Amino acid sequence: MKRHSEKKQGITLGLKDERITKLGKWLRNYYFDEIPQLVNVLKGDMSIVGPRPQVPYYTDKYHDLYKKCLKIKPGLISESGMKFKNEGDILNRQKDPISFFEKEIIPAKCKLDSILANNLNLKNYFSLMLNFGVRYFLNILKNI
């Protein structure tokens, strides 16, 4: 992201977002932007499976929606993350992406993340990891 870009807008609008540098687009396209979160997993600040972290602006603004999600560690993999993996593309197609994000995507993601928070056990943990791995592998094969 370009310097001080978080002051312009809270959400990222996919790879077409003007605030993303050329290097940033490349890093995001190949998921190298996730490396710092892997470090957070190794440090114990995050889990492999759990709700994707959200910026404080939205967790404060929609605290009632996020309160269940915030009770467990954030993670790299979640059902909501897989369902909305193309969130940037979805937002790029909207006339008012911020409103759509706040009124449609946040409630849908929070509902899925609340279900995860209420039902997180070893079976679900490894099931999500396997599901993500299969989807990721198939996506790579599709792009070859």
Each of the 144 residues of the chain gets a pLDDT tens digit; together they read: 555 555 555 666 655 667 777 888 778 777 787 888 899 999 999 999 999 988 888 999 999 999 988 889 999 999 999 899 888 889 888 999 889 999 999 999 999 999 999 999 999 999 999 988 888 777 767 766
Report pLDDT for 1: 55
* Confidence at residue 51, expressed as pLDDT on a 0 to 100 scale: 94
Q: How far is Cα 5 from Cα 51, in angstroms, rounded to an integer?
A: 24
Quick one: three-class SS letters along the chain?
Answer: CCCCHHHCCCCCCHHHCCCCCHHHHHHHHCCHHHHHHHHHHHHCCCEEECCCCCCHHHHHHCHHHHCCHHHCCCEEECHHHHHCCCHHHHHHCCCCHHHHHHHHHHHHHHHHHHHHHHCCCHHHHHHHHHHHHHHHHHHHHHCC
Query: What's the domain range around 10?
Result: 5-142
Number of domains the chain contains: 1
- In this prediction, residue 8 carries a pLDDT of 56
What predicted TM-score, i.e. pTM, was given to this entire model? 0.79
> What's the rounded Cα separation, in Å, for the pair 33 and 20?
12
